[in-house]
Amino acid sequence: MLFHRSFCRKIPRRFSSVTVTKTETRLESLRQQLKDEDSSLHDFAIAKRASSKILPKPSWLKAVPATSENYKTLHKTVRDLGLATVCEEARCPNIGECWGGSDDGTATATIMIMGDTCTRGCSFCSVKTSRAPPPIDPDEPHRVAEAIKKWGLDYVVLTSVDRDDLEDQGALHFRKVITRLKELIPDLLVEALTPDFQGNQDLIHLVATAGLDVYAHNIETVERLTPRVRDRRAGYQQTLNVLEFVKTINTDCLTKTSIMLGLGETNDEIRRTLHDLREIDVDVVTFGQYLQPTRRHLKVKEYVTPEKFDEWRIEAEAMGFKYVASGPLVRSSYKAGEFFLKNLLNEKKNHRGGNNQHEPSVASL
């Protein structure tokens, strides 16, 4: 028994010593391995953090502060009448400049009708989304018209959220807003920046024949990036189809679209898009820098320089677009009235200089 007890006491000590020795050797080996790999792990961590950072904005992306009296007046009216503007909902950097007007007094406001909640969720847009937005306000056409009359604007842009939840997707309501504006302010120039109405030509017809002056529908980006940038229900070809159809039913209005740059598109892809737009006789195109509204949205791949924007303007004009607005802070409706009116004046000047074509009038455009 004594031998047995002694043996039992020694066995654990011997195995414990062996176990500790093996464990220490293994730990030392792991420590050395980690030490050797330390620089690689550090480099990986730095790269990971860098990839998640938002690109710093360059010096040329500076907007006019929203402090003018005209801005304050428009802002108060929007609040008092319970209206929504895409300028605010989409966090547009140009709200101070557009609402404030310019030296010639031209101010532009973009009213967003049919509520402030969209049924689609594009990766670049900060407008609220829901499958079941609140009902449309039937009194909105009257309130919008009263607001525009009070502001004394000479050009207004109407846009809307998508309303896929409604049978007519809001097309009749859009038409009512336009017709009411024209009834109350006959000389007002109206641009409608519309949804695609899922390509339904009957619904597009309702809006395109309501008396508007410019029918706008944005292609947003090049074909390759469309599935990533836009909601799955939107489509590159569908946008082209909408703009082409408008030309067949209203030859008096201008068609217009907008392209965001800085999402990873190539020069050849932009040229292809411009070619596709000219093939269906789109009149006006605008180029602007994509700006990430929140960390949840698509990251900016590149900040395009003002010089490059100017190159795109020259190239697009050479392709036959009637007017091109191109710059880092240009948006689809950015200072739309000023751009449109200046271009119209240039057309009149060309006419007086010997152009034999019929001179366009503000009433007929």
Predicted local confidence at residue 316, as pLDDT:
97
> What's the rounded Cα separation, in Å, for the pair 271 and 36?
50
Predicted local confidence at residue 100, as pLDDT:
55
Structure tokens at 96: 């101070």
b or e along 251-289 (b: 16 or more beta carbons within 10 Å of the residue's beta carbon)? Answer: eebbbbbbbbbbbbbeeeebeebbebbeebebbbbbbbb
Predicted local confidence at residue 162, as pLDDT:
87
> What's the rounded Cα separation, in Å, for the pair 28 and 24?
6
Tell me the H-state helices in 130-266: 140-151, 171-184, 201-208, 226-229, 236-249
DSSP labels, 74-87: HHHHHHHTT-EEHH
Predicted local confidence at residue 155, as pLDDT:
81
Predicted local confidence at residue 330, as pLDDT:
84
Structure tokens at 114: 């049919």
> What's the rounded Cα separation, in Å, for the pair 84 and 80?
11
Predicted local confidence at residue 41, as pLDDT:
37
Which amino acid is present at 211? G
SS3 257: strand
> What's the rounded Cα separation, in Å, for the pair 24 and 119?
62
- The Cβ of residue 61 has, within 10 Å, a number of other Cβ atoms equal to 14
> What's the rounded Cα separation, in Å, for the pair 93 and 325?
16
Return the residue matching tokens 């739309």.
336
Return the residue matching tokens 């504006």.
181
SS3 77: helix
Helix (H) / strand (E) element for 99: namely helix 95-100
DSSP 320: T
DSSP labels, 13-53: HHHHHHHHHHHHHHHHHHHHHHHHHHHHHHHHHHHHHHHHS
Average pLDDT of each block of 10 consecutive residues along the chain (365 residues)? 46 47 62 47 35 69 63 67 59 59 59 86 78 92 89 84 92 97 92 94 98 93 93 92 97 92 97 98 94 82 96 97 89 62 56 46 31
